[in-house]
Amino acid sequence: MRFIVTGCAGFIGSNLVDRLLMAGHEVVGIDNFSTGQRRFLTDAVSHRSFTLVEADLLDEVGYEDAFEGAQAVFHLAANADVRFGTVHPRRDLEQNTIVTFNVLEAMRKHHVRQILFSSTGSVYGEAPIIPTPEQCPFPIQTSLYGASKVAGEGLITAYCEGFGFRAWIFRFVSILGERYTHGHVFDFYRKLKENPARLEVLGNGKQRKSYLYVQDCIDAMLTAFAKADGNVNVFNLGVNDYCEVNASIGWISEALGVRPRLDYSGGDRGWIGDNPFIFLDTESIQSLGWRPKYSIRDGVLKTVEYLSTNEWVFEERV
Amino acid sequence: MRFIVTGCAGFIGSNLVDRLLMAGHEVVGIDNFSTGQRRFLTDAVSHRSFTLVEADLLDEVGYEDAFEGAQAVFHLAANADVRFGTVHPRRDLEQNTIVTFNVLEAMRKHHVRQILFSSTGSVYGEAPIIPTPEQCPFPIQTSLYGASKVAGEGLITAYCEGFGFRAWIFRFVSILGERYTHGHVFDFYRKLKENPARLEVLGNGKQRKSYLYVQDCIDAMLTAFAKADGNVNVFNLGVNDYCEVNASIGWISEALGVRPRLDYSGGDRGWIGDNPFIFLDTESIQSLGWRPKYSIRDGVLKTVEYLSTNEWVFEERV
């Protein structure tokens, strides 16, 4: 099959590109390299079935022809960091909502009608039901990021109804693994390299979060695409577990062989809009036969291992 | 108090402006007159407490100073017609989502932190629970209009969490009454004036919808603003009843003294994304002491009466 992958040079996108190429598919990757890394595409660009389109999806033109002849679009291009919404409120609107609209319009123009979308567990805000099922009560958004992703979901499902599209919407927990370039493991690793004796922790360290290893995440998306045949298919993706930030700090410190003093900024939230407890009900995706192969601890350790052999990712960040 | 009313020259906006002025408030109205009518502001513009700002809220600049010193914003500016989303997909995104973002940013800049928002029962898509409560299961959007409004709700509630805003979000059924300028009564009235012998009806006429009279709607918004004191207050607004399109046609025909033959386009939906059954649970707003004073039939008849004495509204439409 011929797939489009937007955000192809990103963390999840580049791993997905490699998997799709390995499975014998043709892949057209689109990225503007605003946060994506060319080095993540080192293998892909040498592959004859890969085409790279360097374009900004916030523009309305300049990339649509790439959509011609594709069977489906993995729309992963996004501002993927939930934490800085209040610093740059327009960024989530533009990168996540308007870009999704532009992708849908490019698809419509070229008669591509299947879209797989990286949404987020953040769309549940502070969910009243934990573990949170896909059908939980109509949520109140608590972050600009969640708001921008729920807007993307709305656009996509309206295109399903209005234009005969089919959609697979994935509400991710945080993803870990190779090519991970933002989030708590990234930040803690960098800080501990700078100062192994002391670690500043946002909040009280008791925030409970769930994580999923990137290859498990990709397995889940491909399973859902192969097996879920509704017009609108919505799946939580995560492991059947969660951990405290403090536990994660313990695993990271042990892997690095450091014993930092922990200084907490205090409060039960790490930042404005932080959700102190994220744990998704993944019964729906598991009913299709998918199971995560890696635990949260596995994911954290694999991420630390990746970062320790790829410290260039810290230098690339401005 | 000093209020901003966006969409001040629209159907609901202009009625609200008159009510706020009558109650002794200062009102700054903003409109770009894309669908608003100057004649709806005839009374308002002669009032010393009214200021009209003619501006397009899709622009990022040119109107923000109007927000200075306001206590709250009634954000009613919108593309208010659910029916043509698939014809103009960008319109709902721009007029409802991006404009809402721009209004929030103007508010933030000028330290105005209370917003009342005209959302819609369309955000429930085809709700699995009828009458539909505010806390119904996480809905799937079925119209570009609903998608754009759920995006607006998400932005607003994220601003509540992120910037200390307070919000009153109203999910309306269709509103009827004086200055009504789009929707089924408008269309049927015009068609019956052109040809009293025959009426083309979209769908099978059995779609069940709920309606609310505009002054009841305004009463409900003012009641909620006075009495609901959460940071995020979400209310369905409607009557405790619904009617078939066929019943409404009967009332309109009777009021006009015509007996048309009804030609149905067929199917249980009038258009793509039409919801064959809209009926909202309004227990929450009623718990604040608000009750609608007018029935659906009252609303339809008042609308016909308004249209028959204001046929210029048909001429103004392009």
User: Is residue B33 a contact partner of residue B318, using CB atoms and an 8 Å limit?
Assistant: no
Confidence of residue A275 (pLDDT cuts 50, 70, 90): confident
What is chain A's mean pLDDT, rounded? 95
pLDDT tens string B300-315: 999 999 999 999 998 8
The answer to whether A146 contacts B140, with C-beta atoms less than 8 Å apart, is no
Does residue A131 register a pLDDT over 90?
yes
Hey, what CATH topology would domain A178-209+241-316 get?
UDP-galactose 4-epimerase; domain 1 (3.90.25)
Residue carrying structure tokens 């209005």: A162
Residue to test with chain A: of B88, B124, B141, B159, most A Cβ within 10 A = B141
Distance from CA of A290 to the nearest CA of B (A): 24
* Alpha carbon B109 to chain centroid, angstroms: 27
pLDDT recorded at residue A308 = 95
Residue carrying structure tokens 């409802």: B96
pLDDT recorded at residue B272 = 75
Compute the Cα dihedral for B175, B179, B182, B188 and give only its sign.
Answer: positive
Pairwise CA distance, residues B139 & B124, whole Å: 5
Expressed in angstroms, the distance from the first to the final Cα of chain A is: 37
Pairwise CA distance, residues A169 & A115, whole Å: 8
User: Is residue A78 a contact partner of residue A118, using CB atoms and an 8 Å limit?
Assistant: yes
pLDDT tens string B140-152: 999 999 999 999 9
Structure tokens at B254: 């009777």
Pairwise CA distance, residues B21 & B43, whole Å: 10
Residues of A whose CB is below 8 A from B162? 85-86, 89, 143-144, 272-273
User: Is residue B33 a contact partner of residue B54, using CB atoms and an 8 Å limit?
Assistant: yes
Among chain B residues, CA nearest to A151: B151
* More confident site: A274 or A296: A296
Pairwise CA distance, residues B32 & B56, whole Å: 5
Q: Is A55 helix (H, G, I), strand (E, B) or coil?
A: coil
pLDDT tens string A157-174: 999 999 999 999 999 999
Closest CA to A200 of A270, A126, A268, A145: A270
Residue to test with chain B: of A104, A120, A140, most B Cβ within 10 A = A140
The answer to whether A163 contacts B86, with C-beta atoms less than 8 Å apart, is yes
Closest CA to B158 of A292, A126, A128: A126
pLDDT recorded at residue A107 = 97
Pairwise CA distance, residues B18 & B187, whole Å: 26
**Who contacts A105 (Cβ-Cβ below 8 Å, separation ≥6)?**
A60, B89, B90
Q: Is A261 helix (H, G, I), strand (E, B) or coil?
A: strand
Among chain A residues, CA nearest to B128: A135
Confidence of residue B85 (pLDDT cuts 50, 70, 90): confident
Does residue B318 register a pLDDT over 50?
no
Does residue A215 register a pLDDT over 50?
yes
Does residue B94 register a pLDDT over 70?
yes
Domain B177-209+241-316: CATH class, spelled out? alpha beta
Pairwise CA distance, residues A36 & A50, whole Å: 17
Candidates A138, A143, A155; nearest CB to B138: A138
**Who contacts B226 (Cβ-Cβ below 8 Å, separation ≥6)?**
none
Predicted ipTM > 0.85: yes
How many alpha carbons lie under 13 Å from residue A11 in its C-beta half-sphere?
25
The domain covering B2-175+211-237 belongs, at the CATH homologous superfamily level, to: NAD(P)-binding Rossmann-like Domain (3.40.50.720)
What's A311's DSSP letter? T
Return the percentage of chain A with pLDDT > 70, whole number: 99
Does residue B250 register a pLDDT over 80?
yes
pLDDT recorded at residue A318 = 44
Among chain B residues, CA nearest to A84: B162
User: Is residue B268 a contact partner of residue B276, using CB atoms and an 8 Å limit?
Assistant: yes
Q: What is the mean pLDDT of residues B95-117?
A: 97
Ranges of each domain in chain B = 2-175+211-237, 177-209+241-316
pLDDT recorded at residue B317 = 54
Confidence of residue A317 (pLDDT cuts 50, 70, 90): low
Distance from CA of B283 to the nearest CA of A (A): 17
pLDDT tens string B28-60: 999 999 999 999 999 999 999 999 999 999 998
The answer to whether B162 contacts A86, with C-beta atoms less than 8 Å apart, is yes
Is residue A159 annotated as a catalytic residue, yes or no?
Answer: no
Number of residues written out for chain A: 318
Pairwise CA distance, residues A172 & A51, whole Å: 27
Task: Provide the whole-model pTM.
Answer: 0.95
Does residue B316 register a pLDDT over 80?
no
* More confident site: B76 or A82: B76
Residue carrying structure tokens 């033959």: B261
Does residue B206 register a pLDDT over 70?
yes
The answer to whether B157 contacts A147, with C-beta atoms less than 8 Å apart, is yes
Does residue B273 register a pLDDT over 90?
no
The answer to whether A143 contacts B158, with C-beta atoms less than 8 Å apart, is yes
